[in-house]
Amino acid sequence: MELDKSSFSFDSYNIYSLNFDIDSLKQDNININVLLDDLSYQKIKNENNELVGSLDLTLNLEGETSENKKRFLSLKIIGYFSAKNFDENKFEDFCKLNGLMNLLSIARSFISSTTAQMGIPPLILPLLNINSSFEQKK
């Protein structure tokens, strides 16, 4: 089956902050909770039937062991998106949902490879039900 290309584009991203507590990452049997503390959309331009926007995401991880619960990793990432001949509301929805899924995929890979290079077992983010989370907010 051949898939159609979308007129919605993921143009680029920047990871501009990563903070972590190395001692917490070394613990065994950590139950990871993923917190999406900040998700903000910004329309950058709307000219000549082309929309450009950004999605800024702050992702925090809390680890829960039998002894305590604490935040041990925080990552900030921004993605840039564009589309031609899109309705503005539809474009914003695409940025928030599809953009979020793309940014989480990049964050998952970045966190996993970064922690693996630190000489500890790689930290693998759990899969998240984004659709369910968005439905609850409506």
Task: Give the distance between the most distant pair of CA atoms in the chain.
Answer: 57
Residue 1 lies in a domain: no
Quick check: is 42 in a domain? Answer: yes
Q: Does residue 117 sit within a domain?
A: yes
Structural domain contains residue 2: no
**Distances in whole angstroms, Cα of residue 25 to Cα of each of 17, 29, 38, 57, 58:** 17, 10, 23, 22, 19
pLDDT in tens, 38-91: 889 999 888 888 999 999 999 988 876 666 666 678 999 999 999 998 899 999
Q: How many domains does the chain have?
A: 1
Residue 80, in any domain of the structure: yes
pLDDT at residue 32 tops 80 = no
> What CATH number is attached to the domain comprising 29?
3.10.420.10
Could you tell me the strand order of the sheet in which 50-64 lies?
Answer: 8-20, 69-84, 50-64, 31-47
The whole model's pTM is what? 0.83
Residue 128 lies in domain: 8-137
Residue 127 DSSP one-character state? P
pLDDT band at 29 (very low <50, low <70, confident <90, very high): low
